[in-house]
Amino acid sequence: MGDDVIVCRCEEVTAGEVRAAIRAGARTIAAIKKRTRAGMGLCGGRTCARLLARLLAEETGLPVAEIAPPPSRPPVRPVPVAALAEEE
């Protein structure tokens, strides 16, 4: 995968930016997320998490099996703040 290929479509993060984050020390998907915003868009990383895991495996030699999925926390679907404020 070339450096200019976008891996996170929601936040338009390229493979090159993710590789740079890994070379700067990111060793988990969560760490990549914090450095690049990959996985922080509307889909919540549902699309790119596998691509991030693959890049992490390629760059570090970690087996894919040992790369944990990104941490999950509410809301897992886009919800307007107004709806939360009105909760019954």
Partner 1 sequence: MTNTDVIVIGGGPAGLSAAAVAAAHGARVTLVDEQAAPGGQLSKQIHKFFGSREHLAGTRGFAIGRRLLEDALAAGVDVRLGRAAYAVYPDAGDGFEVAIYGGDDPAAGSEVAAGHGRSTTLRGHRLIVATGASENPLAFPGWTLPGVMGAGAVQTMVNVHRVRPGRRALMVGSGNVGLIVTYQLLQAGVEVAALVEAMPRVGGYLVHAGKFRRAGVPILLGHTVLEASGDGRVERAVVAALDERGRAVPGSERSLDVDTVCLAVGLSPLVELLLILGVRTTYVPALGGHVPLHDLDQQTSVPGLYVAGDAAGVEEASVAMEEGRLAGLAAAESLGRGDPGALARTKREVVARLDGLRGGPFGAVRREAKARQVGELAPAPRVVPPHPTSAPEPGPATGVPGRPRPLAVIECRQEIPCNPCETACPRGAITIGSPITNPPRLDPAACTGCGLCLTACPGQAIFLVDRSREMARVTFPYEYLPRPEVGQTVTTVDADGRPVCEATITAARLTGKADKTWAVTVAVPDEYAGVVRGMLRPRVVT
Enumerate binding residues for partner 1 (CB under 8 A): 1-2, 4-7, 9, 15, 44, 46-48, 50-51, 64-66, 68-69, 71-77, 79-80, 83-84, 86-88
**Identity of the residue, 35 or 50, whose beta carbon is nearer to partner 1 in the bound complex:** 50
CA distance 31 to 22: 9
CA distance 62 to 59: 8
Residue 64 · residue 53 · CB < 8 Å:
yes
Q: How far is the CB of 35 from partner 1 (least distance, A)?
A: 19
**Identity of the residue, 61 or 80, whose beta carbon is nearer to partner 1 in the bound complex:** 80
Per-residue tokens: 25:
């020390």
